[in-house]
């Protein structure tokens, strides 16, 4: 199936773009095949009540509208792009995708990253604790996560400069400083919060659709050697905070209705606020998403992680993230954690694919244990759509550049 076909009327993801003649003028766009609809201009032409919001230089005002507004805009969009009576007017506001520049589509408020794949967590546990339990005692009772750095979330195509920091070689008595030697990827799915919530008011699983606007592919770049030295006892810090790449396109949740699936069967009791055992009860939908991810390194497919295998769902993550009374803000981004399946070719990080670097990948352009300068990683994904169609998620692309003082 062509890439264009993945972005038909059942998808319509939102982004932010500019044109060469007006590089400083950022506009909301909607991808439609190989074109981008200038949404603000189209809304004005059609007399939409949301024209002012859709002319904003960021998605945040649209995110803040809330679900009724999202649905109304989406209904209008589908009509403008598919109905014969509107086609001529809409066509005047379509621009070739190849002629626009794409930007980070929203202003990131807070960023949280989870650890939701049982297969990934088990693999990591076996790599680092071969003689102990693969999973920590709390893993099946709550979605483990950490607060990341919103200011280093970057749009696809932004170069990733190899991070520097402290690392401790296993046979040395003291740490050394320098560029990371174990730079890795994490193939993830991100969820973008639209409607905020007040401080002190938890958001239950049934509130997922009311607060989460859409989905984006995400690569949480990781310096494994920096991470290994710093994370005891508090968790990820500099080994994670240097760059997180996201797609320039945010796919609305409503475009993924046909991809909703039940999560894997739980084999541990859950506290009530996380219990989704009776999908459909109390307004709780099937919590999983059937997203098929492909990871390419320098053009070569190295993994195809299935998101449907994720143990903890995005609705559970939202509920856990707010159960202590933490508020949601428009533009909050939270990510699934590395997506990995049960098979070796379904592992979403080089850490797993090379088993801690001990089993390098054999690629046409050489072996890889971890990323080298000049390497390019591309994530793509699609999901089942209505009536046999497919819905694409915008790609995430990043190329590794040398550390700043090593250029």
Which residues are catalytic, by number? 120
**Is 186:239 a contact under the CB 8 Å cutoff?**
no
Helix intervals (H) in 129-257? 208-211, 224-230
The number of beta carbons lying within 10 Å of the beta carbon of residue 390 is: 18
Is 227 assigned to a binding site?
Answer: yes
Is 113 assigned to a binding site?
Answer: yes
DSSP per-residue letters across 110-152: -EEEE---HHHHHHHHHHH-TTS-SS-TTTTTS--EEE--GGG
| Backbone CA torsion sign across 321, 322, 325, 329 | positive
- Report the C-alpha gap between 368 and 89 in whole angstroms: 51
How many Cα neighbours within 13 Å face the side chain of 371?
A: 32
Is 338 assigned to a binding site?
Answer: yes
Angstrom distances, CA of residue 66 to CA of 69, 71, 209, 370, 381: 6, 9, 9, 42, 26
Which of helix, strand or coil describes residue 324? coil
Question: Shortest CA distance to 42 belongs to which of 8, 7, 5, 14?
Answer: 14
Which of helix, strand or coil describes residue 215? strand
**Is 328:203 a contact under the CB 8 Å cutoff?**
yes
**Is 188:245 a contact under the CB 8 Å cutoff?**
no
- Report the C-alpha gap between 79 and 283 in whole angstroms: 29
Is 19 assigned to a binding site?
Answer: no
**Burial of residue 216 (number of CB atoms within 10 Å: 0-12, 13-18, 19+):** buried
Is 186 assigned to a binding site?
Answer: yes
Is 389 assigned to a binding site?
Answer: no
Is 14 assigned to a binding site?
Answer: no
**Max Cα-Cα span within the chain:** 74
Is 244 assigned to a binding site?
Answer: yes
Is 362 assigned to a binding site?
Answer: no
**Is 322:315 a contact under the CB 8 Å cutoff?**
no
- Report the C-alpha gap between 65 and 70 in whole angstroms: 7
**Is 276:38 a contact under the CB 8 Å cutoff?**
no
**Residues of the binding site for substrate:** 115, 129, 227, 231, 338
Which residues sit in the known binding site? 113, 115, 129, 186, 188, 220, 227, 231, 240, 244, 338
Which amino acids are annotated as binding site for Mg(2+), given as ranges? Answer: 220, 240, 244
């Amino acid at each position: 199936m062509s890439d264009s076909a993945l972005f038909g009327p059942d998808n319509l993801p939102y982004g932010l773009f500019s044109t060469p003649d007006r590089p400083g003028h950022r506009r909301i766009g909607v991808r439609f095949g190989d074109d981008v609809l200038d949404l603000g201009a189209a809304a004005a032409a059609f007399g939409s009540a949301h024209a002012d919001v859709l002319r904003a230089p960021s998605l945040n005002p649209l995110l803040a509208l809330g679900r009724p507004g999202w649905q109304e805009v989406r209904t209008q969009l589908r009509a403008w792009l598919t109905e014969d009576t509107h086609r001529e007017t809409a066509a005047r506001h379509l621009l070739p995708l190849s002629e626009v520049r794409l930007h980070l589509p929203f202003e990131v408020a807070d960023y949280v990253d989870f650890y939701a794949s049982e297969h990934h967590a088990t693999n990591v546990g076996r790599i680092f604790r071969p003689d102990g339990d693969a999973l920590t005692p709390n893993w099946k009772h709550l979605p483990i996560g950490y607060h990341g750095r919103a200011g280093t979330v970057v749009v696809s195509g932004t170069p990733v400069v190899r991070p520097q920091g402290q690392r401790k070689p296993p046979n040395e008595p003291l740490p050394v400083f320098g560029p990371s030697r174990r730079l890795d990827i994490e193939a993830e799915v991100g969820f973008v919060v639209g409607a905020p919530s007040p401080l002190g008011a938890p958001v239950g699983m049934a509130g997922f659709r009311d607060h989460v606007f859409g989905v984006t592919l995400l690569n949480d770049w990781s310096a494994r050697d920096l991470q290994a030295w710093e994370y005891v006892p508090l968790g990820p810090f500099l080994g994670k905070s240097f760059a997180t790449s996201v797609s320039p396109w945010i796919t609305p949740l409503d475009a993924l209705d046909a991809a909703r699936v039940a999560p894997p069967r739980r084999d541990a009791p859950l506290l009530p606020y996380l219990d989704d055992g009776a999908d459909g009860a109390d307004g709780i939908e099937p919590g999983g998403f059937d997203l098929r991810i492909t990871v390419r390194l320098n053009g070569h497919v190295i993994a195809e992680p299935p998101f449907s295998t994720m143990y903890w769902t995005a609705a559970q993550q939202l509920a856990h993230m707010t159960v202590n009374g933490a508020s949601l803000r428009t533009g909050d981004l939270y990510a699934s954690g590395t997506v990995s399946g049960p098979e070796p070719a379904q592992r979403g990080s080089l850490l797993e694919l090379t088993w801690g670097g001990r089993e390098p990948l054999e690629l046409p352009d050489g072996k890889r244990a971890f990323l080298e300068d000049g390497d390019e990683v591309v994530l793509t994904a699609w999901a089942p759509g209505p009536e046999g169609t497919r819905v694409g998620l915008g790609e995430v692309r990043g190329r590794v550049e040398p550390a700043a003082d090593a250029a």
